[in-house]
Structure 1
Amino acid sequence: MPMQIKTPRLIEALSQLDQLTNWEQRPRGEMRVGLEPIIDLSARLGNPHHAFRSIHVAGTKGKSSTSALLEAGLRHADISVGRYASPHVEHISERVSINSRPVEEAVLAEALFLALDALRAARTEGTAAEAATWFDMLTAAGFLIFRDAGVKWAVVETGLGGRLDSTNIVASDVSIITNIGLEHTEILGKTRAAIAFEKAGIIKPHSTVVTPLDADDKAGAVIAKRAAEIEARLIRPDFSGLKTIAERNVAVADAALDILGELGVEAKDGRTVGGWLIDKAAEQESQLPGRLERFVVTVAERRVAVALDGAHVPFNLEAVLDDLSGMEGFAGPGIAVVAIAADKDAAGLLEVMSRYGVSPIFTSVSDRFRSPAELRELADKIGLSSDVIEDPQKAYEKAREQAAATGAWVILTGSLYLVGVLRERIIREAAKG
């Protein structure tokens, strides 16, 4: 289960935040039309985002892992670095880290209360921040924490889209758009080009943007056009010969760090920073929960390979299953424990599972998710064998038992929230051998 919050002040702060609009916890059919609330809120807090330089990261797949690689690389240069990420898997403090360590609960609580004070003042005065959302408040708190910790660089991951995302108040030196797939189409647009327009909104004039998307790709063309309009340099890392998600993430992070080197950023030992900072140790340190994690558990004296990945977009899931197919223990048919939110492309996700020989067991984690019965109907329509077990713990137990009996492997997917519910249990099981 997700880790329990222990600090009463943080429990109280989050209770107050939960009264605000939270796009992560409600059906989406609209989105705000400007950044005025976060701009006003930040101004009331002394514009903490002006206290550090930043790298801004957006994308459909790999943005969290790329951000973690950048954090690890800068930390290896002995540069004080913060990372702002979303969503979290097991504890909200995962969203704000300093030098690769999640922020302490008490520190997060006090920053949130400062943001809440600013919100109350805005409501009294009737200014734009009175409409601040849950994510606005957390973003402002994260930037306050970075300022007060004296971080020199922050790696800032967008929450949703980019152009109108709360994080887009940072004046980033480098922006990264890892890739573009169809996601949040009810908000960001129905095509990859439309979604690319939203994500390209993080590019700042006269800065540098890194993206592997080619100019002849529809989404890549939108990004290139935007970069040209605001005189931003566009860098495309070379993916030739790179087969896995991890390898491509490293190439993107390498390119971004090389740009910092060109800007004159130096490690504490005087060397110019660059892609050399991301070595095997940095790659290991940057592994995030719920992103292509792999374990081996023993069931009835048989070893079962278990993967955790919160892929909730068909584009993501296909990349994950493609990578797994080349890894030890993941050959042949698989069994997926699956929960899918109501606003996700369930039919697309199931079609990917069908092509890769993965049989789903549908489960439920909250009322924001599609019912397992509805998912089973979708699976039946494409001839995909499936099962329904409402309780995620029992669904996982059934999956691993079936895998042990048939020589299959298991993946938990469709939702990082589902991963958070089961991850601690799987880690314990793997530790037992």
Structure 2
Amino acid sequence: MQIENPRLIEALSQLDQLTNWEQRPRGEMRVGLEPILDLSARLGDPHRAFRSIHVAGTKGKSSTSALLEAGLRHAGISVGRYASPHVEHISERVSLNGQPVEEAVLAEALVLGLDALKAARAEGTAAEAATWFDILTAAGFLIFRDAGVQWAVIETGLGGRLDSTNIVDSDVSIITNIGLEHTEILGKTRAAIAFEKAGIIKPRSTVVTPLDADDEAGAVVAKRAAEIDARLIRPDFSGASTIAGRNIAIAGTALDVLGELGVKAREGKVVGGWLIDADAERESQLPGRLERFIVPVAGRGVAVALDGAHVPFNLEAVLDDLSGMEGFVGPGIAVVAIAADKDAAGLLEVMGRYGVSPIFTSVSNRFRSPAELQTLAGQIGLASEVIDDPQAAYEKALEQAAASGAWVILTGSLYLVGLLRERVISEAAKS
């Protein structure tokens, strides 16, 4: 989606000269909180101006955060949400009361962040090493402070313990789940990754997680909570048979905790999970998360799903949910791009079990080559194709689906979804 504000274009141009680990190989990534702490201090510590819920996890962070935002907004509470990555427009990362921040507002906050960076470089302080994500995070917190938000829902970017967002003193933290991801940074086991994500839990606060105590990752989270006198609460998943249902249970439990803390909705009613009603569910739908469309091709409607699932357990949950939805019965065709730090073999194994044939493509040099993915697919007997251009790959998937009666999914990466989403929406509108 095109950016129109000239000042934002210029600010992003300067921002893009900084290290952006979302777009680069992460093997040599070094992370720490010193740059963001210095940067924030230079801006008046805006993260201290609001209360917060901090959300980490391998998958489900954004959807859970959006549900929390909708629930708080329905309570009459001024709320901000900070998320990553964006799918089509950078303003998706900072929302105020359910709406993406205006380009002009984001531009001004980024300029202030960049000015603070320049001052740090001149003085040789820690913020001189601030990254793309550090500046954006500081800008988001500035926007929340200046808008007077009462509560902010903050989604981690990578991990948790050393993530730029972890300067917030959250009342409630959420760890949605733990899977193998970013293993070159976070660790090679679920326990090691859980240690990083559990770093967002604050002393004497509350952490909400569905992870069981006898799970290797859950044990790490429980240990950390006990060490710092934090209360651990597990949501009730009984009756939650879908991804959406589980996200609702997690978000609802977190809102119940706010109610216990004395947070009030309009007219004095205590905040709680009751705030997540059908309207909140609808309003919290995010781009690239189990979106479904019907695209007309050669006289028939092809069911197309968009989901940026990039870990095996999440892709399995997505395909399982889709299998019970109209238009997604039988074999499917996937347009797939997978980042180099993801479990490609695990993702392909899931596709094989669900009868999904992949067409491999790529979006940047941080991704596995389509040829490498095809080799992996061949090793497990999964037939596949390689089409380097994502647009052409999508066209081929539609043609094959129209001819065979299959359905299509764009998956493996939110960046891939972002490249193709506008086209899918445009074509679906013709049906």
Residue 122 in structure 1 maps to residue 107 in structure 2: no
Aligned to 1:71: 69
Q: What amino acid is aligned across from residue 357 of structure 1 in structure 2?
A: G
- Spell out the pairing of 1:383-422 with structure 2 (5 A cutoff): 383-422=381-420
Looking at structure 2, the residues matched to 41 and 305 of structure 1 have their Cα atoms a distance apart, in angstroms, of: 47
Equivalent residue, structure 2, for 1:178 = 176
State the one-letter code of the partner of 2:123: E
Task: Report what 1:251 is aligned to.
Answer: 249
Post-superposition, which runs of at least 4 consecutive aligned residues in structure 1 deviate over 3 A?
none
CA RMSD of aligned residues (A): 0.9
Aligned sequence identity (%): 87
Q: How far apart, CA to CA, are the structure 2 residues paired with 1:36 and 1:362?
A: 40
2:310 & 2:10 partners in 1: Cα distance? 31
What corresponds to 2:286 in structure 1? 288
Residue in 2 that maps onto 1:4: 2
Please say if residues 38 and 136 of structure 1, whose CA atoms lie closer than 8 Å, have aligned partners that are also in contact: yes
| Unaligned stretches of 5+ residues in structure 1 | none
Counterpart secondary structure, 1:360: strand
What is the CA-CA distance between 1:415 and the residue it aligns to?
A: 0.9
Partner secondary structure for residue 267 of structure 2: coil
1: CA distance, partners of 2:207 / 2:338? 32
Alignment partner of 2:273 out of 275, 284, 294:
275
Q: In the alignment, does 2:135 pair up with 1:142?
A: no
Kept after mapping to 1: 8 A contact 2:32/2:164: no
Q: How many residues matched?
A: 431
C-alpha deviation, 1:303, in angstroms: 1.6
Partners of 2:368 and 2:33 in 1: CA distance = 31
Question: C-alpha separation between the residues in 2 aligned to 1:217 and 1:366?
Answer: 35
Instruction: State the Cα distance separating 1:33 from its structure 2 match.
Output: 4.9
2: distance between equivalents of 1:31 and 1:337? Answer: 29
| Worse-superposed segment, 355-364 or 174-183 | 355-364
Question: How far did 1:269 drift?
Answer: 1.9
Q: Residue by residue, what CA displacement relative to the aligned partner does 1:167-191 show, whole Å, maximum 9, x if unpaired?
A: 0000000000000000001100000
TM-score normalised to structure 1 length: 0.98
How big is the shift at 1:159?
0.1
Whether 1:190 aligns to 2:188 is: yes
Report if the CA contact (8 A) 1:90-1:420 is conserved. Answer: yes
Q: SS at 2:429's partner residue?
A: helix
**Structure 2 length as normaliser, TM-score?**
0.99
Distance 2:358 2:160 in 1: 32
1:236 to 225, 234, 237: 234
Q: 1:44 Cα deviation (Å)?
A: 0.3
Shift of 1:318: 1.3
- Note if contact 1:42-1:140 (Cα within 8 Å) is conserved in structure 2: yes
Read off the aligned partner of 1:82 and give its amino acid letter: G
Which residue of 53, 68, 71 corresponds with 2:51? Answer: 53
CA–CA separation in structure 2 for the residues paired with 1:415 and 1:131: 28
Between the aligned partners of 2:112 and 2:420, the Cα distance in structure 1 is 34
Check whether the contact 1:182–1:315 (CA below 8 A) recurs between aligned residues: no
Return the offset for 1:109. 0.7
Deviation at 1:234, TM superposition (A): 0.4
1:320 aligns with 2:314: no
Q: Which amino acid aligns with 1:266?
A: K
Return the offset for 1:367.
2.5
Name the CA distance, whole Å, in 2 between partners of 1:270 and 1:429: 46
Q: Contact between 2:72 and 2:78, CA under 8 Å: does it hold in 1?
A: yes
Give the match for residue 329 of structure 1.
327
